[in-house]
Chain A
Amino acid sequence: MTGSEAIVPVASGPVAGEPEPRIHVRVGNAFFGLPLAAIREVALLGPLTRLPGRAPGALLGVMNLRGRVVLVADLGLVLGGEPAHRGAASERVLVVDEGRRDVALLVSEVLEIAHLAAEAEQDGLPPRSVEPLATGELLQRIAGFVEARVNDFA
């Protein structure tokens, strides 16, 4: 816990002079910074149930999260890039609130909370080019995706 006094407190919202807190994730070989406000929970990927009658695309299936049925989507495919799901042990799902449904975005790895990245750089880790995603944009994309997919599914 040494040096914990020097850590800058995370801001809950967009504050002038202080960046919005983000959670940095790896999707395949790309890095993204997701707004922390949009994320409700980080969870382990449970057993997936494929949706019947559909070819596996970005929507991987549904999983049971503490008694709730959650749609699982591959963030890489949602963002139009390479898929995140390769069956690695480091894979996590970020649960976001999206209207009526809970949607879990599958990432390859959760790295850190963004305002602590400076500390990581101090640890000698190589700097990463992280693509920041705005909350609105992310939610919009997710909403659009979920809408289309779920409608298809329905």
Chain B
Amino acid sequence: MVKNNPQNPVAALGAVLGLFSFGLPWLNIRPNRLLVGDFIWFAAGNSVFSGLALLCWLLVLIISLWPQKISAKGQILAVLGGLAALCSSLFLRDVMPAFDPSSLARASLAGGAWVFALALYVLGVGVQQSAKGWGLLLAAPIVGLGVLGSYSQLGIFAEFRADQNSFFEELRRHMVLTFLGVLVATLAGLPLAIWAARVSKVRDLVLGGVGFLQTIPSLALFGVLLPILAKLGKTVQVGPALLLGGILLASSLFFVVFPRAWPRVRAWVALPILLSSVILLPLASLWLYAFLMGDAELLSSWHWAAFLSDVGLRGIGAAPALLALSLYALLPIVSSTVLGFRSIPPGILDAAEGMGMNPLERLWQIELPLALPFILAGLRLSWVLTLGLATIAALIGARGLGFFVQRGVDGAAPDLILLGVVPVVLLALVSDVGLRWLEGRVVRG
């Protein structure tokens, strides 16, 4: 990737993977969703397609490692990769069994096809800077044929057809769980990180604490949370909880707005914010969960006198899942925000103070803008991590896409596992690209 080096080792790695995929089976024709049936290799189908794809990958390998400069090299590589992708999708379309909804037989993609997809991805990463928009060619044929319905006999689509309604519901739930987990982690993590960036004793404690949270296995965490949340939900009412949280929040806001009222506690303002967020954030996220899931019954049970269990704070279900996800999402946000604040040269802060800025102005006008790239990178990392991690919600009865994974493991049905995993992977890839783009715009603008 060095600018002056005309060779492209990443694209070459993609080519090696692409060639390697010819040595593995591509398709598995199963007699039913449980059994492993016969395997089909790439070479077994129409030899024109496999020969052409082989040729494309060889050319990609040669061109990417060519020691002299080639004009429009990225575009050439992208076109060759796209051609290989087209050949492979046409091959798959040819060997795919005809769609028959009454048949129990399924086709599943096997190792070769997955390695081929990985090869395309690696090639895409390798040429993304030099090929510009041409890189999209790599995905086009697969997406195109998929949309045309050539693959409807694939097991993953058969599983999708059986669970169509619940699939979209669980997809939505997965996104909602991820969103709320990251939201809570952001709202709790940012003040925590700012506090930690200022006070070195707090910094050790906070960074150590959020790091420790990552080491707790999710199952153990759920085991600990279950009795605590069940007890809390049955004993505490909504009204008193909101009142306590409100008082704490108001008192901390007082110190933020009047920082000179009691100068010695200034740095400790974060403590009541922290305490109020421990109470208010989970409640807010439960309400948002019911709202975003369109659960009218749960929404209507919000009353002052209702117990927290009535509004969803129970030992099993969304509450422990949301709590666990937001705890796990803290680390990337907190550590990168602390890093961002610590990387501001002290001279700039001195200058700001010399200009007569109060701490609040300094935070808004100097520190936050300078630390923004770090904070955004932390948010993106946290979002992508939580998307994958949200599959554990199914372990505590909160469903989401992990529900399909769990059912697939229970029922020994690999295609059902894929129905849960593939959307998660696609979502993570797409949102990573999207958030990077957004970051670039925000930071530059």
- Whether both chains belong to one complex is answered with no
| Interface set of A (CB-CB < 8 Å, partner B) | none
